[in-house]
Structure 1
């Protein structure tokens, strides 16, 4: 996604959906463990870690938009009983806190993220 001479790449539609999915799952994990959504500082840190780990960059408006959408979507998923189970949520990750896209649950959350991005009027 990046070359050393160019620096981190701006997010494309697929990267936006992947970051949004990561943040949604982060909110769900936080809620299952603490009863609360990610605090703002943890949301910002999660976003920073994902961007650095994927060689990407996001402008401030993308960061705000994705942060806001992540809590909205997490609230929708969080209403479903399985998403309150921290053991189930832990299985959505591979090593290094990367989401396991082989999981049908992760693919379902990702599809919801893509649909949300396509429907909110912003670029996907």
Structure 2
């Protein structure tokens, strides 16, 4: 089954927004913020999306965001207190992170639709 690209793009946008909001405020998007963001994305991209799909995609964005939430830097630094950092880890690759997130969104849509 082919997943509509507009839904993948919309879902990726909402997941990133969920993660950014949680990182900044320590809370996920409120329902109002989620609806406003979803509607804004649809307007900007001149896309259509049935109301049931919007509800489902909003819920999916939170589920995916919770599953990929990065480790909090403070929690990581506390857990590694007294342990020297291993400098052999390669730097994070933003493109790889973005592609990984997109694959998670596609997989979620394929499994749930």
TM over 0.5: same fold?
yes
Distance apart, 1:49 and its partner CA: 1.2
State the partner residue of 2:96.
104
Are residues 1:58 and 2:45 paired?
no
Correspondent of 1:39 among 1, 26, 30:
30
Structure 2 counterpart of 1:9: none
Secondary structure (helix, strand or coil) at the match of 1:38 reads coil
Which consecutive unaligned segments of at least 5 residues does structure 2 have?
Answer: 74-93
Larger Rg computed on CA atoms: 2
Give distance in 2, aligned partners of 1:14 and 1:42.
23
Q: Which has the higher contact order (CA 8 A, sep 6+)?
A: 2
The equivalent of 2:111 in structure 1 is 119
2:14 corresponds in structure 1 to 23
Aligned-pair distance for 1:40? 0.6
Q: Where in structure 1 are there 5+ consecutive unaligned residues?
A: 1-11, 86-101
1:103 Cα deviation (Å)? 2.3
Q: Report the TM-score when normalising by structure 2.
A: 0.75
Structure 1: 4+ residue segments shifted above 6 A: none
- How large is the Cα RMSD of the aligned pairs? 1.6
Aligned length: 91
